[in-house]
Amino acid sequence: MTTPASLERYSRQMRVPGIGKAGQERIMASRVTLCGVGALGTVLANTLVRAGVGFVRVVDRDFVEPSNLQRQVLFDESDVTGNLPKAEAAAVKLRQINSTVEVEPVVADINRTNIEGLCDGADLILDGTDNFEVRYLINDVSIKHNKPWVYGGAVGTEGMSMTILPGETPCLQCVFEKSPGPGEVGTCETAGVLAPIVSVIASFQAAEALKILAGKKEAVNRELFCINLWDNTTRWVKIAKLAGRKGHCPCCAKRSFEWLDGEHGTQTTSLCGRNAVQVTPRGGTKLDLNELKKQLEASGSVTANKFLLKFTTTDAGNGYEFTVFPDGRAIIKGTDDTDRARTLYAKYVGH
């Protein structure tokens, strides 16, 4: 049996018993929306485009910075010099890797007003984001429109992943009722991140994606996978019984899409004439300013009292001053761009 030239490049992948020619053809006919093309996202995009996924939409609001190059595998120094948006820089590399894949870069902040459009037509949504606000939005879209998605998170030397098949597995809100609030746990900027944990988690997500796209849902991981590369520990958390959380899961049991409806999440307001943006988490949060101070000490100069925290830092060559309040609200001076402010908030305060 000969393989047509168009399939030759996938010959090794097709020899995997779970894929075969039929699976490969399904992969090539499939469409994926990738939310975020940073650390996890570049590994995911690289793997999916090489695997021959038919259409990949990559969405990211950020620009390539020198500190990205340690782990964000699609970028190089010329992308930093060119001050390129991550989505555009990634698209150039991805098209060089596989010109038969249709790659659509979108430079945008993912929020409740645009996410349904960005996921329209997708067979699968992939999580390459760095925050839970977008993940809960993805989860709402997944359940509302019956599209599978794969969660992945990595920080320091630990990471976790789970696969959400609407109607079959627990959703993200079944397993994580709430995400850690602002300042509760470190972000990649404050706690650091080792490149291999990113590759491990994103590769695990990519394997799940290929199973789903090849039509092999029976092979999908149904547990919460956790790994720490420094402690040499792995854990498979049995989550199946949490599905719908005895009918109380607001998202998949009650079909109340609170994140899409704007009941949670952050709100940004550009403070006119002040070159500053106010970022306000909805739904109330209680921040330990002393704890946040400790986390930020390595990233700039920081002072705190019981009323507010002041933090000054240089990010991608620009100076910023954060004023953070105990309710999680922050005024970020040094930009009037609300997308940039969201990025800075997610990077340094976290949510």
Partner 1 sequence: MPITVDIPPPLREQAGGNLKVSVTGNTVHECLDDLIKQHPALGPKLFDNGRLRPHVNVLVNDEDIRYLDDLGTEVADGVIVALIPAVAGG
Q: Which residues bind partner 1 (CB under 8 A)?
A: 36, 38-41, 127-132, 152-160, 175-181, 184-188, 191, 193, 198, 201, 226, 228, 231, 233, 235-239, 241-242, 245-246, 286, 288, 350-351
By beta-carbon proximity to partner 1, the closer residue of 178 and 255 is 178
Query: Cβ closer to partner 1: 13 or 47?
Result: 47
Give me the residue label for tokens 């403070």.
Answer: 271
142 burial via Cβ count (<10 Å: 0-12, 13-18, 19+): buried
User: Of 103 and 160, which has the nearer Cβ to partner 1?
Assistant: 160
Q: Which of these, 253, 251, 339, 317, lies nearest to 62 by C-alpha position?
A: 339
CB of 274 to partner 1, least distance (A): 29
Scored b (16 or more CB within 10 A) or e, 186-205 reads bbbbbeebbeebbbbbbbbb
Kindly give, in sequence order, each residue whose CB lies less than 8 Å from that of residue 87, ignoring residues fewer than 6 positions away: 37, 58, 59, 60, 105, 106, 107
Min separation Cβ 241 and partner 1, Å: 4
143/154 with CB nearer partner 1: 154
CB of 280 to partner 1, least distance (A): 19
Residue 197: strand, helix, or coil: helix
Total count of residues recorded for the chain: 351
What is the Cα–Cα distance from 101 to 50, expressed in whole angstroms? 9
Least distance between partner 1 and beta carbon 262 (Å): 20
Nearest approach in angstroms of CB 242 to partner 1 is 6
CB of 49 to partner 1, least distance (A): 19
| Encoded amino acid at 267, one letter | Q
- Nearer CB in complex with partner 1: 173/335: 173
> Residues with Cβ < 8 Å from 46, sequence gap 6 or more?
73, 74, 94, 97
Pick the closer one to partner 1 by CB: 92 or 191.
191
Which single residue is written with the structure tokens 């018993």? 17
